[in-house]
Amino acid sequence: MERSAALDAVFKPVEPPTTFEETVERLGTAIRLGLLVPGSRLPAERDLADQLCISRSTLRQALTTLVQSGHLVAVRGRSGGTFVADSPPLTERGARTEPLGDEARAVLDYRVAVETGVTVLAAERADEDDFGRLDALVDRMDAPEGFEEYRRADIRFHIGVAEAARSPRLVTAMTEVQGQMSELIARIAHPEEVLTRSNAQHRRLVTLLRKRDAGRAVRLMREHVEGTEHILAGLFP
């Protein structure tokens, strides 16, 4: 594959902790902008993982996500590999030059403030009843009957964290931001890899809240929110 300065930027090393999500964003954006043209073949898995400075397992998760969303096609056999789909879903609607518009960015910024704030207070104030409800929602998201059920449980989980903060005003704010996020999320594909990874973070968050570890819980929530931002940037029409 011939390299331009733009493609060099696509394949530069990815920074932790959101390596999976940023890889999806990088490749999805490159496809949307036509830097990776339909039918073009990606570098071999080992080479691509080395270029991005990520593990091959993380790369496989990202590639699987983009196959599930219709951006890439995996072909088996001697002449196989991973190729850009002939008609990637986003290019059919025309390319965007900006990752996300101002309105979407405003929603994401609002979400950071609300989610991290309720996490601090939930770590201080949640009781075992709160943890039990959050555990049950995580279990529902582990085996949902489709994305709609997953998303309903996801919304209820985040509102549940706000309820555990014992602040009615923050519950109202969380309800508002989750409604706005639903409008954004409805516009992208919902690959299983993304949902599985997101719910693993939900489960770890409940563990940290139980331990009253507000610092690590907030860092995890920020990682969780930032991961969503990368996925939206890579798959958003």
The predicted-structure confidence for 30-72, as pLDDT tens digits, reads as follows: 998 888 999 999 999 999 999 999 999 999 999 999 999 999 9
The predicted-structure confidence for 66-119, as pLDDT tens digits, reads as follows: 999 999 999 987 778 999 999 888 654 444 545 578 889 999 999 999 999 999
For residues 230 and 37, give the distance between their C-alpha atoms in angstroms, rounded to a whole number. 21
- Backbone angles phi and psi of 165, in degrees to 5: -80, -10
Q: Which domains does the chain have, with CATH numbers?
A: 5-93 (1.10.10.10), 102-235 (1.20.120.530)
Please check the confidence at residue 1 and state whether its pLDDT lies above 70: no
For residues 63 and 66, give the distance between their C-alpha atoms in angstroms, rounded to a whole number. 5
For residues 23 and 60, give the distance between their C-alpha atoms in angstroms, rounded to a whole number. 10
Alpha helices of the chain — where are they, by DSSP H?
5-10, 19-32, 45-52, 56-68, 102-125, 128-142, 147-164, 168-185, 192-210, 214-235
* Burial readout 75-107 (b: 16 or more C-beta within 10 A, e: otherwise): eeeeeeebbbbeebbbbeeeeeeebbeeebeeb
Residue 13: how many CB atoms within 10 A of its CB?
10
User: What is the pTM (predicted TM-score) of this model?
Assistant: 0.84
Peptide bond into 17 cis (omega under 30): yes
Q: Which residue has the higher pLDDT, 19 or 8?
A: 19
